[in-house]
A and B are shown apart, each in its own frame.
Chain A
Amino acid sequence: MSVLKAMLSTVAVAATFVAGTAQADDVRIALVVKALGIGFFEAAAKGAEEAAAELGGVEIIYTGPTDTTAEGQIEVINSLIAQQVDAIAISANDTDALVPTLKKAMQRGITVISWDSGVAPEGRELHLNPSSNPLIGNMIIKLAADHLPDGGDVAVLSATTTSTNQNIWIDEMKKVMGNYPGVNLVATVYGDDLADKSYRETTGLIQTYPDLKAIIAPTSVGIVAAAQAVADAGKIGEVNVTGLGLPSEMAGAIESGASQSFAIWNPIDLGYSATMLAYNLATDKAEAAAGAEIPMGRMGSLTLDENTEGAMADPFVYDSSNIDDFKSIF
């Protein structure tokens, strides 16, 4: 029977090293992410811990599946329901597939909100968008205009002609162009979110418009390729590349000066806000209804629209002053 003994002691040892989670009377908020081990979500968890420290008496359970599947998240949610957590804040792998399980969570009195990547309205109380289309549209042109005090020609390098997000942002940008006098949109080209095509399109822009002052790329693939193309063409200092990108991929371009600044949502703020919202709903300090304003600490408050969705803030601007802090995060 020593086989059994060996087996059981293995199990026991393993169980003791995973046990030891505190079971206090804290408000327990579960931050469920698409998958563990992704820098963006690790940063969000940091923000959640920050909110917990600020609130006091809050325990953050940071969890998620190993790979980005709905089935994996359902298992995680089931175990959270079983633990009777107070709130679940989830970045969903699937808009629809999580709804039955999250409904069950709500029936058992658990506050459910989604953030970053949403759940269908019937499966959550509110959804926190990192930003909104008008805010993003305004931000990308503002980033270019900030470094063009005398105005000048700018061009857009987008993803594909059918990319829904990019098209909306560019439309929103065009709506507010009037607020930036002297800034002239000369062309919109499409790099199809492929590094090599984006690079060729950028080179084409530089050759066609010798007076070009800025390239706006609201895509994380395009912005990196455009910065590379500008550097290779020896146009650093003449053409500023900006738009939406990831700090880890853009650190080099900021350092070389090919890009003065760019923007993307700040995951720390996102995790912080999601936690604040979940706390306020779970402790009945606020109610999620259309038109409601729910406070979220240092991030102000979230105004919900008719779909009980809200936008957190302007995209966060990254430049040489803060890129080193963020490039290792995501």
Chain B
Amino acid sequence: MTPTARQIPDRLTTPAQRLFKSWEALLLAVAIGIFVLNSFASPYFLNVWNLSDATFNFTEKAMIAFAMALLIISGEIDLSVASIIALASTAMGAAAQFGAGTTELVLIGMGVGMLCGAFNAVLVTIMGLPSIVVTIGTMSLFRGISFIVLGDGAFRGYPESFAFFGQGYIWWVFSFEIFLFAIFAVIYAVVLHKTNFGRAVFAIGNNATGALFSGIRVQRVKFILFLLTGLMAGVAAVCLTSRLGSTRPSIALGWELEVITMVVLGGVNILGGSGSIPGVVIAAFVMGLVTFGLGLLNVPGIVMSIFLGLLLIGVIALPRLWAQLAARRA
């Protein structure tokens, strides 16, 4: 008798079901909810130019958040990103004083960002120091250098054409920054979700030793991730400096926590091993919409941070509570 083939399903849930239950779907619903509420709450919200202005609140931070997401998925962290912006911006400012053109300035900004990333990378991957300790140190170090160079002064006098990166528009209401944001979102999504490198990042985050014995060059992957994070901080420094038109050592103060908030809100496990770029993209929009919407209602900044804090805790805690509740019921 021929054994009747018993069908073992490939998956217990269909892809559509999974998508529906996913973190990204929850976040997207939150984003849409906030969008709808905002349009009711303020008559000024549904205006393309206002919305376009609002994107500047998050584009620069989100560019760093993409690289940071990969770094956190691999089980490391970089707290020095905001200080890298300060140092890269200071270097650009100094170069501008010596008459550097726009191309040179962009290269210098990105170059200094990468050098800072490389410095973190050497300390973590070659010296074997814990990344949280290393980057707390370099957070003070990089910004400290800016303070020594600038004191209470400022660098100004950037070339006219340099203003394009932070103030220019590519087409209609779409700024250069939002284009850059979209391009990086696609690049990082492909790298993380469609390449061997991306698989390696997940493998390292789940079990670094296991990954090493599977032939993944763990330290090399981590080195590249720190380098990328530094580079993205450099890109953000170019955009922000161009937007502000000047450099002070306090530039981008406190951004590291906002970047990490964005990553965690985007569903990346802070302990490493899981997460997605689409999640981070939606989280960036959620944060941008919340701050802009509350700003239109003239909610004081401190209430805004309380709200963002609650949102972060809520979005992270509710699904877990829900899962526990469901488990108990079952």
Contact = CB atoms under 8 A, between A and B. Distances in A.
A282 B156 CA distance: 30
B156 A3 contact: no
Interface stretch (A57-65, A124-132, A320-328): A57-65
Given A7-B318, A70-B244, A94-B154, A21 B297 contact: yes
Contact of A61 (B37, B56, B298, B322): B298
Contacts of B180: none
Interface residues on A, range: 35 or more
A96 B244 contact: yes
Contacts of B251: 70-71, 97
B31 to A, nearest CB: 11
Nearest to B304: A66
B26 A3 contact: yes
A31 to B, nearest CB: 11
Given A10-B314, A18-B294, A70-B244, A100 B167 contact: yes
Interface in A49-94: 61, 63-67, 69-72, 74-76, 78-79, 81-84, 94
A24 interface: no
Nearest to A82: B50
A195 interface: no
B163 interface: yes
A125 to B, nearest CB: 19
A297 interface: no
Given A69-B250, A100-B243, A7 B154 contact: no
Interface stretch (B4-12, B40-48, B113-121): B40-48
Contacts of A36: 300-302
Interface residues of B, number: 54
Contacts of B212: none
Interface in B19-75: 26, 29-30, 33-34, 37, 41-45, 47, 50, 53-54, 56-57
Contacts of A18: 41, 294, 297, 299, 303
A146 B297 CA distance: 50
Contact of B301 (A3, A14, A65, A94): A65
Contact of A69 (B166, B253, B295): B253
Interface of B: 26, 29-30, 33-34, 37, 41-45, 47, 50, 53-54, 56-57, 154, 156, 163, 166-167, 240, 243-246, 248, 250-254, 291-292, 294-305, 307, 310, 314-315, 318-319, 322
21 contacts: A4-B29, A7-B29, A7-B30, A15-B37, A15-B41, A21-B298, A65-B301, A66-B304, A67-B253, A69-B250, A69-B253, A70-B251, A71-B253, A74-B243, A78-B56, A78-B57, A82-B54, A83-B298, A84-B44, A94-B244, A95-B154
Given A65-B301, A100-B244, 16 more contacts: A3-B319, A7-B314, A8-B33, A11-B33, A11-B34, A12-B37, A14-B310, A35-B301, A66-B302, A71-B252, A74-B244, A75-B57, A75-B291, A76-B295, A79-B295, A97-B244
Interface of A: 2-4, 6-8, 10-12, 14-15, 18-19, 21, 23, 35-37, 61, 63-67, 69-72, 74-76, 78-79, 81-84, 94-97, 99-100
